[in-house]
A and B are shown apart, each in its own frame.
Chain A
Amino acid sequence: MKKLLLLLCLSAGMAPAQAAIEAYDFETPQMEADYNKLINELRCLVCQNQNLSGSDADLARDLRRETYDMLSEGKSPDQVVEFMVARYGDFVLYRPQFKSSTYLLWLGPFLLLLVVLFFLVRRLRGAQAAVEVDAANLARAQKILENKEQNQ
């Protein structure tokens, strides 16, 4: 019973994930794939944390229509992206282009990883050095322990 309730609650949240999508006829499977890829990667400007495919906003519908029309006219997906960026800026891209203003965005995580690795290596080396010092004394300690056991 509990499982059923949980399932119902979870499925209730699923419904709005895909907003009402218009039925478009595609001439080729390639065009359909391009269309679906574009509306998943382009961002809706009205509900700003949704992509075009997930948004039910009026503007999102218009931009889906624009995307479909451009692809029907034989334009390439890159041309559609260019069209959107010219009007709405880089904000419409969920996958930002790699250029001077976005270097930090793309490379930042790797930079952070390098910094963390640097500190990690330094720390591990320090720990190893400390262990080596102990090793020098290890023989002595063992000797003392052995003597103690013999005495008992």
Chain B
Amino acid sequence: MNRFAMPLLAFVLMAGLLGYGLREGYDPKIVPSPLIDKQAPAFSLAMLEQPSRALSTADLLGQVWVLNVWASWCVSCRAEHEVITALANRNLVTLVGLNYKDEPADAERWLQQFGNPYATSVIDRDGRVGIDWGVYGVPETFVIGADGLIKYKHIGPVTHESLEQKIMPVLKELLG
């Protein structure tokens, strides 16, 4: 056997492996959620606009809804705000905001300043509901079906591109 054969084979294997790690659309920071196709973790939380009233996951059963995790301290939330607003303006689904580890006063000011795309936002002051939903970085966006199952999770700011290519197809399928 040619004495270059083995090193060349090793090189090709290594290059292939490293190339696989660099493939397009792969981001090692994105941790796939084990909650896909599982029942959405239940919560019952006070609404930001009316803290005396609570919204629970049971109230939303039977309809397709989107949960967007946001906070006034989150810079990327500002970046995706325009896209979330575009989604809300289509009036396709109920858009619920999960105000994650935020000061309610700051959150309300944020909504006044940039506009409120949410049907309602609920307060997750200590982040426990966030943990139940496997949230590890704000913003995150979940699509939940009428059967209460989580159908899709988007990690990081939603762009116009990811809205059209990832989220809309899931919504269209769920809405029939």
| A residues with CB within 8 A of B | 45-46, 48, 58-59, 62-63, 66, 85-91
Contacts and interface: CB of A to CB of B under 8 A. Distances in A.
User: Which 4 pairs across A and B sit closest by C-beta, in order of nearness?
Assistant: A45-B136, A87-B134, A89-B34, A91-B31
Contact of A66 (B35, B101, B131, B136): B131
A108 B74 CA distance: 42
Given A48-B29, A62-B131, A63-B131, A85 B34 contact: yes
Contact of A88 (B28, B126, B136): B136
Interface in B11-59: 28-29, 31-35
B31 A87 contact: no
B34 A86 contact: yes
Contacts of A48: 28-29
Contacts of B137: 45-46, 59
A80 B119 CA distance: 35
A88 B132 CA distance: 9
Interface string B126-164: 111001111011000000000000000000000000000
Nearest to B31: A91
B31 A58 contact: no
A63 B101 CA distance: 14
A112 to B, nearest CB: 13
Contacts of A45: 31, 136-137
Interface residues of B, number: 17
Contact of A46 (B127, B134, B136): B136
Contacts of B134: 87-89
A51 to B, nearest CB: 14
B20 to A, nearest CB: 15
Given A48-B29, A58-B101, A87 B127 contact: no
Nearest to A85: B34
Contacts of B31: 45, 88-89, 91
A59 B135 CA distance: 9
Interface string B100-113: 01000000000000
Nearest to A89: B34
B80 to A, nearest CB: 18
A89 B33 contact: yes
A90 B33 CA distance: 10
A46 B134 CA distance: 12
Contact of B132 (A46, A87, A89): A87
22 contacts: A45-B136, A45-B137, A46-B136, A46-B137, A48-B29, A58-B127, A59-B127, A59-B137, A62-B126, A62-B127, A62-B128, A85-B34, A87-B34, A87-B35, A87-B132, A87-B133, A88-B31, A88-B33, A89-B33, A89-B134, A90-B34, A91-B31
B34, B128, B134, B136, most chain A CB atoms within 10 A: B136
A90 B126 CA distance: 24
B73 to A, nearest CB: 10
Nearest to A83: B131
